[in-house]
Structure 1
Amino acid sequence: MQVSDSRYDRSYNYIWYQDKGQWSTRFTAWYVPGLLYRAEGDDVECGIAAIESVLATQMTIDFDAAWYGTFKVSPDAPDPTPDGTLYPPDIYNTYDPNWREFVGTQLVQIVEEFSHLLTDDLISQIEDALEIGAVGEMRRNGSYPEDDNLILAYTNPALMRALTVGWIGKRRNNQTMIDYAWKQGEDLLALYQRNGSDTLGEYNAPNYYGMDIWALAANIAYGPSDAPMTKNSKIILSDLWKDIAAHYNPYLGNLVGPYDRAYSRDATTHSQILTLFLWGIFGRENSPQPPKGEGDFLFDVAQGAALALIMDVVGQHIDDDSAATLTAQGWWEGGRFLNNTIWDDLTADKKRTATSWISAGLMIGGETVAEAENRGDQFVPAIVHWASDPKHTPRPYNGFFSLYPSASTVTAVAGPNTLTVSYPNTTQEGTNIFTFALTGIPPSWTLKNRHIVTGFDDLPCLDVNVSAPGLKPLDVAYGATLRDHWIYNISYAVPANFSGTPQVHFELEYTC
């Protein structure tokens, strides 16, 4: 609450955060439950004013628009202008369809937890907004409206949509909405359990696992008692924590890769929403955390009050073995291998394979995917973590290098001390180069004997043997950033006359 208190603009009753405008509608919604819970001084008055400010940002003018029923990213922004140059529609930029879910689930929590502080009229306005939002939510199918990508496998908004549509459908006795949410709840569990995979479509995503946990716990806490998603969320949430524990390295304080979506690749230096739950359940000192002043932490912790209100629900779904793994610290012996299949939908034979090998000082992840479109720099199909400075406190300093996925078809396979990356479809753009982003090199190494990174041949605590037959190593460059990590760019070019499948193979040994 201290972070949001310092950003609250009392003149307009919005949180001042210059992300996609001067203020943030979403951050304002996240601030409200903290105000209503604290209820000191004029907190309740400010909370009610903030709710009214959030509701005022809902876009309702163009019924047929892709953004109908969602909320402006910032109250000072105009509605998108499809027939003009003022503010042309650009999904996730000039409008964000997922804010129906981000703001909508927050409004559900506010009504469920704090109705006694709200007037009947304001509650009715919230219900109206959620009903309008549900219309826009139910239209989305991954290809319609234009540019839409909300399929079942887009886990975090899909889980939140099941709650918002089901909740308002039940509240307003709207059978169309009830039926839609009921079907979504059944399909989401079916996709999760397809062929015994027990994996979310948005798999191993440290930030979005946090949003998944929020959505699952909110479904349990606030969803209609007879809704499939309310019941199924208990199954998925309990299983999810077992999967998180299986991927968690208590020595390095990170999940082993690969990551379907990741902003930060290191929970000990940058924020990951998942670790807010570890903090809330096990205590900050018992969980990997960035410094409290870290910029992306200040972004994520804006939701902290809302998350705190469902921590008890989350904690009830973590088994003792998982809790023991998640609270352990220090070196541990042995290693383990993980192999998981991720499905995109319920019928097509379209799947990805994630392999991971994890030991205390070194862990490796790879994902095999064959797609037509590049997933972008949030996608981490190949990554190696190691303790680059085991003397660093309170946890070892994490070094890591990850593949920058320049192609959309990647075969990356992890094994004990090995990682193999190849581009099997050389007709695709981006298969002419393998680019690896290296970071986490400690100053105790760079300053001692004036070490200079010239590739993978001389790294602290890690022996790397690289085989890249027929490829040309390029000069190493430092100074760019990738998702807030300062990186060394280590690349291997594929010559124009190369024949066969280009591949880079790593043999790795932790040496400290």
Structure 2
Amino acid sequence: MLFTLAVVLYVFAILCEVSAAASFLSTLAEHPRQLLEESMDWLDAKYDPEAGYLYDLSAAAALRHDIRNSAWYAVGLLARNRDGDVQQATKIIKNVIRGQFKDPAKQWYGTYQKYPEEPPVGSVSYPPKIYDTWDPNWRGFVSTAFIIGLEEFGHLITPDITRLVQESIYNATVGDSYRVGGVDDDNLYPSYSNPALMRAFASSWTGKMFNDENMTRAGETYAKEIIDLFDRANTLSEFNSGTYTGVSIVALTTWAKYSPDTSIMKTKGVQMLQETWKMVGDLYHPQLKNLAGPWDRGYGFDMNKYFSIIAAHIWCLIGKSAAPVIDKVPMMSHSADFAISPLVAILSPFHDKLVPGTTVGSLQNFQGEHTVDTSAYSIPYDSYPRQITAWLDDNISIGGESFNESVIGGPAINPSQFNPAVIQWNTGNEVGFITLYATEPSINAIARPGSLNITYPLGNSSSTFQLLISPFRKKPEVSTWKDLQGLNIKVSGTIDPKYSVSSSFTDDAINDFMFWNFTYSMPPQSRLVPNILLEVELSGADSTRVS
């Protein structure tokens, strides 16, 4: 009798697990379900069940493990809920929280280890260095994932694990309050859009959960600062990033979905999400499968070759084959970010309904020649809002950004990510690119139909224009502008018309992308304002979408 009862209970438990999985998966439309399943299949292969962590997804870390991606994977396991997934998710969650820094006296309090094998931060062998030995943004990435897990799948975990997760989120939120832009090498201002959005939400949500009015108020106040920057031109300060716009969309979705009705983030999250998508729709070129430049932060020069988180959202909206991904996504550069895809898929039933229909249409089919004229503002780096112009036509896009900043390389202070002037076109079989490598803190880059005009207002005779140009399948050796595939170009300006050509093909790739570098200098002792004008037209490009 007891044996029979045990069997019945076991079978009942299995049926409940299958039913719970089916009930969530059945809510997903075809495209997000495919994204969830493909990303989880890939992560399954990277999982170390004995350790309870994902291996480092770069495959270049000698089998070290990874904390942040493990947290994302754990939420994906809860969503899938098959064959012991919940048990493995619980194991991962406990491991991630075990690696959370617990000393309130340390600047890194509440954030999480980057990998479990690392020495103690602050030890002689591992001195504290922000964004190096510890990452303050891990608080937001992990706690946001945990909040999504609690909101969507809290019924699958035990009360003791629930309390553990809640406590971890609280500690991460307190630790995030230590962050002040410009103090102790921290750069978290309201203009640092993706972690700022997560910080505001986590503070408000956590304060509400713990009945901590000060924490709730801090989140709402911080959200208002972000909103004020956004409302100026309906743009995120961290503008037009294939990767970080994707993160901001996840964060704005949590604003809209999980904030209480009394929160400013509830309605503003919807508005900001929709306005952000409208801008994405204006700048996205479906024939090229790329966001037209400029890009404040990019991990490559062609979204068909590196995984951009915005691609996961586009996949959910219009399908994998139409999105800027290849069939074998893990082979793309920067593919580790594919690990966030379970969160994108989980949020998609709520999120996708908020995306304007006109935007979805513009992601699918090119809407014809048009221009974009807008601005974005990153305080304290910008002395005035950055002015953004773009022109898109059949198989070509041109984008430019005009600004005067206190740093070189945009607010991320990284010229390898900052692309203030960009041309992309269909070469006939792939996307070609020309992008300016930023060497000046003040640039006027203006896109017009068929032209890109770049000026250095504060430049002098020592200024240079470094134009990074894509390799071409049919032209393995590039030495002049005539070697560009599918594009005719005329160059003029105050620059010396003679230019030098170098390449990255030895050991100088940027974000895994090879390029030719055409460098123009100013005439010796020139007193003219540095300027270069690129006038372009397509030459024999195919009229179809890049595949």
The normalised TM-score by structure 1 is: 0.91
1:184 is aligned to 222
CA distance in 2, matches of 1:164, 1:439: 41
- Alignment-mate amino acid for residue 479 of structure 2: T
Aligned-residue offset at 1:13: 0.5
**Counterpart check, 1:147 vs 2:185:** yes
Secondary structure of the residue that 1:60 maps to in structure 2? coil
1:422-467 CA distance string (max 9 Å, x none): 222237xx963211111152x2x22xxxx73113233122110011
Per-residue Cα deviation, 1:200-245 (whole angstroms, up to 9, x for no partner): 1001111111101111112222223321112211000111111111
Higher deviation after alignment, 20-29 or 173-182: 20-29
Structure 2 CA distance for aligned equivalents of residues 250 and 68 of structure 1: 44
Letter in 1 for 2:270: K
CA distance change for structure 1 residues 347 and 368 in 2, over 3 Å: closer, same or farther?
closer
27, 37, 42: which one aligns with 1:3: 42
Amino acid in structure 2 at the alignment position of 1:147: D
Of 192, 207, 223, 2:259 maps to 223
Equivalent in 364, 382, 402 of residue 435 of structure 2: 402
Cα shift at 1:28: 0.3
- Corresponding position of 2:499: 473
Q: Verify: 1:168 aligned to 2:210, yes or no.
A: no
CA contact (8 A) 2:101 2:112 kept: yes
Distance (Å, rounded) in 1 between the aligned partners of 2:398 and 2:342:
34
Letter in 2 for 1:418: S
Note if contact 1:59-1:72 (Cα within 8 Å) is conserved in structure 2.
yes
Contact 1:257 1:380 in 2 (8 A): yes
- Residue 70 of structure 1 contacts residue 96 of structure 1 at CA under 8 Å; is this kept in 2? yes
Structure 2 counterpart of 1:261: 297
CA contact (8 A) 1:457 1:465 kept: no
- 1:355 lines up with 2:386 in the alignment: no
**2:462, 2:420 → 1: CA distance?**
14
1:113-163 deviation digits (Å, cap 9, x = unpaired): 11111121211111111111111212222112x111111110000111111
Match of 1:52 among 82, 91, 94: 94
Instruction: Give the one of 224, 238, 243 matched to 1:207.
Output: 243
User: Matched residues in 1 for 2:111 and 2:345: separation?
Assistant: 25
Of 467-476 and 27-36, the range deviating more from structure 2: 467-476
User: Which residue is equivalent to 1:437?
Assistant: 468
Q: Distance in 1 between matches of 2:154 and 2:277?
A: 31
Unaligned runs of 5+ in 1: none
Do the aligned partners of 2:46 and 2:54 also contact (CA within 8 Å) in 1? yes
1:492–1:291 CA distance, 2 compared to 1 (3 A):
farther
SS at match of 2:454: strand
Alignment of 1:315-394 (within 5 A): 315-328=352-365, 333=368, 335-345=369-379, 350-375=384-409, 376=414, 377-389=416-428, 392=429
Which AA in structure 2 matches 1:477? Answer: S
Give the superposed CA RMSD. 2.1
My pick for the range that moved more, 38-47 or 18-27, is 18-27
Number of residues of Structure 1 aligned to a counterpart in Structure 2: 489
Percent identical pairs in the alignment equals 29
- Taking a change above 3 Å as real, the CA distance of residues 241 and 10 of structure 1, as seen in their structure-2 partners, is same
Secondary structure (helix, strand or coil) at the match of 2:91 reads helix
The DSSP-based 3-state class of the residue aligned with 2:295 is coil
Secondary structure at 2:92 match in 1 = helix
Match of residue 324, structure 2, among 282, 288, 304: 288
AA matched with 2:246 = G
Are residue 116 (structure 1) and residue 155 (structure 2) matched? yes
Aligned equivalent of 2:342, options 305, 308, 319:
305
Alignment partners' CA distance in 1, 2:331 and 2:462:
35
More displaced, 462-471 or 338-347?
A: 338-347
Q: Is the 8 A contact 2:495 2:521 kept in 1?
A: no
SS in 2 for 1:186: helix
Q: 1:187 to 1:431 in 2, by over 3 A?
A: farther
Query: Is residue 2:174 matched to residue 1:135?
Result: yes
Partner residue of 2:527? 499
Q: Please give the secondary structure, in 2, of the residue aligned with 1:486.
A: coil
Separation in 1, partners of 2:326, 2:173: 36
**What 5-or-longer segments of structure 2 have no aligned partner?**
1-39, 541-547
Partners of 1:18 and 1:256 in 2: how far apart?
29
Q: Secondary structure at the match of 1:206?
A: coil
Once residues 89 and 346 of structure 1 are traced to their aligned partners in structure 2, the CA distance between those partners, rounded to angstroms, is 25
Shift of 1:265: 2.3
- Deviation, 1:347, is 13
CA distance in 2, matches of 1:455, 1:478: 16
Alignment of 1:245-256 (within 5 A): 245-256=281-292
Q: 1:98 to 1:341 in 2, by over 3 A?
A: same
- What corresponds to 1:97 in structure 2? 136
Query: Match for residue 518 of structure 2?
Result: 490
Alignment match, 1:278: 314
Q: Does 1:80 align with 2:118?
A: no
The structure 1 residue matched to 2:53, chosen from 14, 20, 23, is 14
Residue 197 of structure 2 aligns to which amino acid in structure 1? L
In structure 2, the CA distance between the partners of 1:71 and 1:347, relative to structure 1 (3 Å rule), is: closer
1:456 equivalent in structure 2? 481
Distance 2:395 2:342 in 1: 35
Moved more, 133-142 or 353-362: 133-142
Q: 1:338·1:356 contact (CA, 8 Å) conserved in 2?
A: yes
Distance in 2 (CA, whole Å) between partners of 1:350 and 1:80 is: 38
Match of 1:423 in 2: 456
Shift of 1:18: 5.7
3-state DSSP of counterpart to 2:188: coil
Aligned partner of 1:233 in structure 2 is: 269
Q: State the alpha-carbon separation in 1 of the partners of residues 536 and 115 from structure 2.
A: 47
